[in-house]
Structure 1
């Protein structure tokens, strides 16, 4: 089965900056804490540590998203959306994206993921479907706050980031059930 394209390839090209994680790495299997327990895959639904640097001048806030373009839905699957992260913040601790957002910086908001739950939802691809990519993106934005509320969809958040994204940093681990 062919792999769906990188959805960011269809947005205006923006520069990148550095993102790293103590928990996940590009093209490496997600550790079990970042896999879903809610969806019965044996994990913990624990958001990974993410740290970033080198965002461009003019950055006024950040958004962090996790998207699986390989989900068998026709539209991918949003696992996590965090926005209105202050420009002074450059790191989210492991587990910051619990359902209450208890580890997120003050003023930061989370949206419901595609399962309808607030917070990070770990990976749970169908058995035998092959490796799925989990695109953790840190978006540097030129606005302090997005004009949205926590009841909108991840797609509406993405629409509101269109034209305000100065740069984007990606780290893309994978996960599959054999």
Structure 2
């Protein structure tokens, strides 16, 4: 993934800290990693003043196969929203702000799918990114693939905040 240089801002989570293990709640139950497929709590601050909206993604660059694995992608989060509760990525998105849209993850459904690296594959990084955008509505729809999101959003990205959790299955 190539990013053009944009300012960084701050994101934190009550679910896990930067560089720490992804806890069981944020691991996958569907993919037999003993988890609950609960998206992490997120709070962000310091985004550029001209931000009109946000997108949030979670990506595993260490997944086998080409192009990594997209666990979560949410678009069209209003500019006045600066946090998401744990579990906001549930299918149906009842805890998401009005107007927000979840794309289909690489597990095949619209919502958050938890960390589930192949056993014995070594540690995987789960990179949560909050994208500050210069548009309130991305103009994309739920058929957009998360893999194409980065390129579609890049010309609208004003700033980016990242938080990385680690998980290894033995």
- TM-score by length of structure 1 reads 0.94
Report deviation, 1:74: 1.6
Equivalent residue runs for 1:1-178 within 5 Å = 7=1, 10-178=2-170
Question: How many Å separate the matches in 1 of 2:54 and 2:4?
Answer: 17
Question: How many Å separate the matches in 2 of 1:51 and 1:75?
Answer: 27
CA contact (8 A) 1:147 1:160 kept: no
- Residues 21-65 of structure 1, C-alpha deviations (whole Å, 9 max, x = no match): 100111111100000000011100000000001100110000000
Report deviation, 1:157: 2.2
Secondary structure of the 1:167 match is strand
- The alignment yields a C-alpha RMSD, in angstroms, of 0.8
Structure 2 unaligned runs (5+)? none
Secondary structure of the 2:58 match is strand
- TM-score by length of structure 2 reads 0.98
Q: How many residues align?
A: 170
In the other structure, the counterpart of 1:3 is: none
Structure 1 unaligned runs (5+)? 1-6
Which 4+ residue blocks in structure 1 deviate beyond 4 angstroms?
none
